[in-house]
């Protein structure tokens, strides 16, 4: 299963490099062929220099180049996107240092400035969604996770045929429901005479509380993951989280039969994921001699 992480942001950076910046085979920027004021040309030079610094793992130098490019040409959105993505890839989820938190906050701010100029910029929308997911996971912050979902909804509104934002909404909804379920069990076990095991159904009062607090979240997540699978039929990660959400749904059911059916559907998804992964492995195997 995937997690929205710096891997995603490094992919974003690579896409920006390939699609937005022209660098010759000798490693020099081709800005001499571009028109503009002196500051605009210098900004493009700094942008390309920053990309080269980033590629060579000189991240602090890259950030400074992107910052200068942005200052020289505030209308150069590419500089803002590169700067935001450079900050984001430096962020370490869960690291408590002030500097690390500042990197995450700066990434979000830079992406938001891109959206101020270009509200339909999917790179910025996805970048903010990614950062909020990472910053809301460790330490756990459900408000940031809910905000991350909002940015995935923005992506869907602009490009509803993409399966990824549906997947992330489903993943986040599972995270919220799973943590809520675990907390209810922990609170119950803190004073119960008999320990409630993880696989055991919730007692009636807890079941009703869990359904009231997370039933809608579970339903939204399941709907989103089913949409992702509809758009991408072999989307094994989406199937894996749909399986997990069925198991959360089982804890909201009032009847044994309904609970058993949820578990059955979850188990079927596990088997389907196994078959897809096996097929993927077979397709990756080199042909025999």
Residues 66 and 94 placed together within one structural domain of the fold: yes
What does the block give as tokens for 41?
A: 């040309």
Query: What pLDDT is attached to residue 33?
Result: 43
What is the rounded CA–CA span in Å between residue 273 and residue 234? 8
pLDDT, tens digit, 9 for 90 and up, residues 224-257: 999 999 999 999 999 999 999 999 999 999 999 9
Bridge partners (DSSP) listed for residue 153: none
Confidence label for 75 from pLDDT (cuts 50, 70 and 90):
very high
- What are the two backbone dihedrals, phi and then psi, of residue 141, each rounded to the nearest 5 degrees? -140, 95
**Full residue range of the structural domain in which residue 33 is found:** 6-158
Confidence label for 15 from pLDDT (cuts 50, 70 and 90):
low
Neighbours of 195 (CB within 10 A): 10
Residues 120 and 215 placed together within one structural domain of the fold: no
What is the rounded CA–CA span in Å between residue 3 and residue 211? 26
What is the rounded CA–CA span in Å between residue 91 and residue 81? 16
Q: Is residue 289 part of a domain?
A: no
**3-state secondary structure at position 271:** helix
Residues 95 and 12 placed together within one structural domain of the fold: yes
Query: What pLDDT is attached to residue 284?
Result: 83
CA–CA distances in Å: residue 77 to residues 32, 70, 126, 158, 214: 19, 8, 16, 19, 40
Going by C-alpha positions, the residue among 156, 174, 176, 175 that lies closest to residue 165 is: 156
CATH number at residue 119: 1.25.40.10
pLDDT, tens digit, 9 for 90 and up, residues 77-104: 999 999 999 999 899 999 999 999 999 9
Q: Is residue 287 part of a domain?
A: no
Which residues are CB-contacts of 57 (< 8 A; sequence separation ≥ 6)? none
pTM for the whole thing? 0.87
Residues 119 and 48 placed together within one structural domain of the fold: yes
Query: What pLDDT is attached to residue 37?
Result: 87
pLDDT for 288 beyond 80: no
pLDDT for 261 beyond 80: yes
The residue ranking higher by pLDDT, 100 or 34, is: 100
pLDDT for 30 beyond 70: no
Q: Is residue 286 part of a domain?
A: no
Residues 81 and 144 placed together within one structural domain of the fold: yes
Query: What pLDDT is attached to residue 283?
Result: 87
Which of 97, 123, 158 finishes a domain?
Answer: 158
pLDDT for 269 beyond 90: yes
What is the rounded CA–CA span in Å between residue 61 and residue 57? 9
Query: What pLDDT is attached to residue 28?
Result: 40
> Any long-range contacts for 46-50 (C-beta under 8 Å, 24+ apart)?
46/72, 46/79, 47/21, 47/76, 47/78, 47/79, 47/82, 48/21, 48/22, 48/23, 50/79, 50/82, 50/86
Going by C-alpha positions, the residue among 243, 261, 241 that lies closest to residue 253 is: 261
């Amino acid at each position: 299963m995937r997690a929205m992480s710096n891997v995603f942001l490094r992919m974003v950076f690579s896409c920006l490099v390939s699609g937005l910046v022209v660098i010759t085979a000798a490693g020099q920027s081709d800005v001499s062929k571009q028109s503009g004021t002196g500051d605009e040309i210098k900004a493009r030079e700094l942008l390309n220099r920053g990309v080269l610094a980033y590629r060579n793992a000189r991240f602090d130098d890259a950030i400074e180049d992107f910052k200068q490019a942005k200052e020289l040409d505030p209308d150069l959105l590419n500089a803002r996107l590169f700067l935001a993505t450079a900050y984001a890839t430096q962020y370490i989820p869960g690291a408590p240092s002030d500097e690390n938190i500042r990197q995450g906050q700066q990434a979000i701010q830079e992406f938001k400035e891109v959206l101020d100029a270009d509200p339909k910029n999917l790179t910025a929308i996805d970048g903010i969604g990614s950062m909020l997911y990472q910053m809301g996971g460790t330490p756990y912050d459900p408000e940031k996770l809910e905000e991350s979902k909002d940015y995935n909804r923005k992506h869907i509104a602009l490009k509803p045929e993409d399966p990824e934002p549906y997947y992330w909404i489903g993943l986040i909804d599972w995270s919220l429901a799973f943590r809520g379920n675990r907390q209810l069990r922990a609170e119950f076990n803190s004073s119960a005479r008999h320990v409630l095991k993880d696989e055991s159904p919730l007692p009636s009062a807890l079941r009703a509380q869990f359904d009231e607090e997370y039933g809608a979240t579970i339903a939204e997540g399941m709907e989103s993951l089913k949409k992702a699978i509809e758009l991408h039929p072999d989307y094994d990660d989406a199937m894996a989280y749909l399986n997990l959400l069925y198991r959360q749904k089982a804890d909201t059911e009032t009847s044994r039969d309904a609970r058993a059916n949820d578990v059955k559907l979850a188990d079927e998804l596990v088997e389907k994921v196994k078959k897809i992964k096996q097929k993927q492995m077979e397709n990756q195997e080199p042909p025999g001699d």
